[in-house]
């Protein structure tokens, strides 16, 4: 599969001008995510590669809650997140259980959050090996790589990277964290949970996004489908509604938050090493893992709303206004984001497929900088529309938006 390269885009100013700000940022994130790094993290957390958290080289042989390796895994995650530039915390909820959490503060909405998560604990229990490379070392490795890549990219909403403990005992860690947020009326705009995303035994590229009509979960699922189509991932995605409740996303559903589960085709192509001592990296379909991890993280990045352009891109595109909307597609009112390079008078309209004006969104001067405008998608009929932003001194820019059914 051929994907756009950020390097190629940067070399062509003409190409950049035909891409939205969101396209450029999301594609840069996709390109920056390294499968070699993900595999390396999985090898470390599953006991195939030694780690050193200050006590000399050692292997994480078993991450089960009843095994000392669980605490070692916690310390390993703290170490990695600290190396990436975060200040992680451990949320202790039992004598042995502790979630590892890192937060990146949003540029516009620091008190509203989106959550990307996986669980780091393991089965089987006992004193023998519990590598749990797929379940859920694969999600943990992808989550670490996401934390590394997203650290220096500004987002509108605050981001939480949640590494949950004791999922295998009944979603204990995630339930504790989600419950504590709900009890304090914390606003969570969406959750993407990655659990077992690296096994494709029959090579059919099928994966599932599990969703239920709870809060904005369906909108999040729609975003995943749109990202899959937009960026041409080699994944045959099955939307499962009502989705399963056997992983940590269900803890957020239980608190009334929107969430989805990204998972391999567990139903009809289950990993035969699941919950055994043989759940190892050697059974990964590495290209499949790369695609499903990148799809999950790119979808999450859209939810967090990239705020601004990468430096290399903005130097080229500085003279052009940029425009994007979230959510898109939408069944509720959305937000339109306009980055104005030079103060100018703007006429901004929402028009239908025939070019007929549906709504006048703005008519007046906009100062240099970033602006957020309400996009009334809930009040229009399902279908495809266009936002037309026309400056008085420059060329109009257009953004296709969709009203979901």
The count of C-alpha atoms lying within 13 angstroms of the C-alpha of 160, restricted to the half-sphere facing its C-beta, is: 27
Whether 352 has a pLDDT exceeding 70, the answer reads yes
Where residue 405 falls among pLDDT bands split at 50, 70, 90?
confident
Where residue 234 falls among pLDDT bands split at 50, 70, 90?
very high
Q: What is the pLDDT of residue 225?
A: 94
pTM: 0.76
Alpha-carbon gap, residue 137 to 226, rounded angstroms: 27
CATH topology of domain 319-403: Immunoglobulin-like (2.60.40)
Whether 11 has a pLDDT exceeding 60, the answer reads no
Pairing of strands 322-326, 334-340: antiparallel
Q: pLDDT (tens digit, 9 = 90+) per residue, 85-125?
A: 999 999 999 988 999 999 999 988 999 999 999 999 999 99
Other beta carbons less than 10 A from residue 215's beta carbon: 19
Q: What is the pLDDT of residue 7?
A: 25
Where residue 371 falls among pLDDT bands split at 50, 70, 90?
confident
Alpha-carbon gap, residue 154 to 151, rounded angstroms: 8
Per CATH, the number for 6-304 is 3.40.630.10
Closest listed residue to residue 220, CA positions, set 211, 232, 233: 211
Cα 2–Cα 317–Cα 153 angle in degrees, nearest 5 = 70
Closest listed residue to residue 2, CA positions, set 237, 296, 232: 232
Where residue 320 falls among pLDDT bands split at 50, 70, 90?
low
Q: How far is CA 144 from the centre of its chain?
A: 12
Alpha-carbon gap, residue 296 to 290, rounded angstroms: 10
Alpha-carbon gap, residue 359 to 351, rounded angstroms: 7
Q: pLDDT (tens digit, 9 = 90+) per residue, 117-132?
A: 999 999 999 889 999 9
Which has the higher per-residue pLDDT, 370 or 336? Answer: 336
Structure tokens at 275: 């919950």
Q: pLDDT (tens digit, 9 = 90+) per residue, 379-398?
A: 999 999 999 999 988 888 88
Where residue 310 falls among pLDDT bands split at 50, 70, 90?
very low
Q: Is the peptide bond before 194 cis (omega within 30 degrees of 0)?
A: no
Q: pLDDT (tens digit, 9 = 90+) per residue, 267-299?
A: 899 999 999 999 999 999 999 999 999 999 999
Alpha-carbon gap, residue 185 to 215, rounded angstroms: 15
Other beta carbons less than 10 A from residue 81's beta carbon: 23
Q: What is the pLDDT of residue 95?
A: 87
Where residue 330 falls among pLDDT bands split at 50, 70, 90?
confident
DSSP state string for 202-265: T---EEEEE--SSTTHHHHHHHHHHHHHHHT-S-EEEEESSPP-SSTHHHHHHTT--EEEEEE-
- Check residue 187 and give left, alpha or beta (phi > 0: left; psi -120 to 50: alpha): beta
Cα 87–Cα 89–Cα 91 angle in degrees, nearest 5 = 170
Q: Which of 29-38, 127-136, 290-299, 335-344 has the lowest mean pLDDT?
A: 335-344
Domain boundaries, the chain: 6-304, 319-403
Phi and psi (nearest 5°) for 361? -90, -35
Over residues 133-150, the mean pLDDT reads 97
């Amino acid at each position: 599969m051929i994907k756009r390269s950020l390097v190629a885009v940067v070399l062509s100013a003409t190409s950049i001008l035909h891409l939205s700000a969101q396209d450029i940022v999301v594609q840069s994130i996709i390109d920056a995510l390294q499968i070699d790094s993900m595999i390396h993290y999985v090898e470390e957390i599953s006991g195939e590669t030694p780690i050193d958290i200050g006590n000399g080289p050692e292997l994480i042989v078993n991450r089960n809650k009843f095994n000392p390796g669980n605490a070692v895994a916690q310390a390993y995650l703290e170490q990695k997140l600290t190396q990436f530039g975060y200040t992680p915390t451990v949320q202790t909820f039992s004598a042995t259980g502790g979630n590892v959490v890192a937060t990146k503060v949003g540029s516009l909405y620091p008190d509203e959050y989106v959550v990307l998560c996986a669980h780091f604990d393991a089965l089987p229990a006992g004193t023998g090996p519990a590598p749990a490379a797929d379940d859920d070392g694969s999600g943990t490795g992808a989550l670490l790589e996401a934390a590394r890549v997203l650290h220096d990219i500004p987002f509108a909403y605050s981001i939480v990277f949640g590494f949950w403990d004791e999922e295998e005992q009944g979603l204990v860690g995630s339930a504790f964290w989600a419950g504590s947020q709900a009890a304090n009326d914390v606003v969570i705009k969406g959750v993407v949970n990655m659990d077992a995303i690296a096994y494709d035994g029959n090579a059919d590229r099928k994966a599932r996004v599990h969703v239920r009509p709870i809060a904005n979960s369906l909108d999040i699922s729609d975003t995943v489908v749109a990202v899959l189509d937009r960026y041409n991932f080699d994944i045959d995605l099955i939307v499962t509604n009502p989705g399963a409740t056997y992983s940590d996303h269900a803890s957020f559903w239980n608190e009334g938050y929107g969430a989805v589960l990204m998972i391999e085709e567990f139903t009809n192509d289950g990993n035969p090493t699941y919950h055994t001592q043989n759940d190892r990296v050697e059974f990964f379909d590495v290209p499949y893992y790369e695609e499903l991890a990148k799809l999950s993280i790119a979808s999450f990045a859209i939810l967090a709303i990239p705020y601004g352009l990468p430096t290399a891109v903005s130097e080229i595109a500085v003279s052009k206004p940029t425009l994007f909307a979230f959510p898109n597609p939408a069944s509720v009112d959305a937000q339109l984001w306009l980055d104005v390079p030079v103060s100018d008078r703007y006429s901004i309209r929402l028009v239908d497929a025939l070019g007929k004006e549906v709504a006048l969104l703005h008519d007046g001067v906009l100062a240099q900088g970033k602006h957020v405008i309400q996009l009334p998608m809930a009040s229009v009929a399902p279908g495809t529309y266009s936002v037309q932003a026309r400056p008085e001194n420059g060329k109009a820019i257009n953004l296709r938006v969709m009203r979901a059914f």
